[in-house]
Amino acid sequence: MSTKLIRRALIASGLFIGATAAFSPTAFAATDATVPLSGTVASTLAITSTATAGASTLDLDGDGSAAEHIVKVADLAIATNNEQGYTLTVTSGNLTKDGGTSIAYKVTTVDDAAAAPATGAFTIASGTAYTVPTTAAGSVPKDLYIQYTPAALQDAGAYVATINLTVADN
């Protein structure tokens, strides 16, 4: 091939590439742009419970007399960063022992360091979940109480139960 033909081919291909670049949409300068933004805030929902000394030394009577007992069994610390608040759910049930008559108990909460609740504050039946909703973010310390009445002649032995606490963002 002659150098003239090669030169003409190069010039023609250069003109074609230049024209393509000149009329391509990406060849024009942009007049606006966008910047996508995003981020994540982790939930800080948390609950801790600290059993009181009274939780493991419940007075179960059983010696021919029976009385209602209202006992503070735990200190609760609950916190959330959810602006709609949280819902606390507490189980209630029975103190039990193998071969013995169980002792039903109810639960309720009061603000930290408040006076013990009266009998009328225990509105949820034993065996039913007790729920307490809040409506704002924050840290809310609470006191957990149980109410129970053993039988006048309660079976001798060690009685046990476990209270389960769960917290969920609203």
* pLDDT at 63 exceeding the cut of 80: no
> Could you read off the pLDDT of 12-40 as tens digits, one per residue?
555 555 555 555 555 578 899 999 999 99
Q: Looking at residue 27, what is its pLDDT?
A: 59
pTM reported for the whole predicted model: 0.78
Residue 11: pLDDT band with limits 50, 70, 90: low
**CA–CA distance, 2 with 141 (Å, rounded to integer):** 93
Distant-in-sequence, close-in-space partners of 144: CB < 8 Å, separation ≥ 6? 49, 72, 73, 74, 75, 76, 90, 107, 108, 109, 163, 165
| Cα 104 from chain centre | 27
Q: Average pLDDT of 87-116?
A: 96
Write out the E strands in the chain: 46-51, 69-80, 86-90, 93-95, 103-111, 130-133, 138-148, 165-169
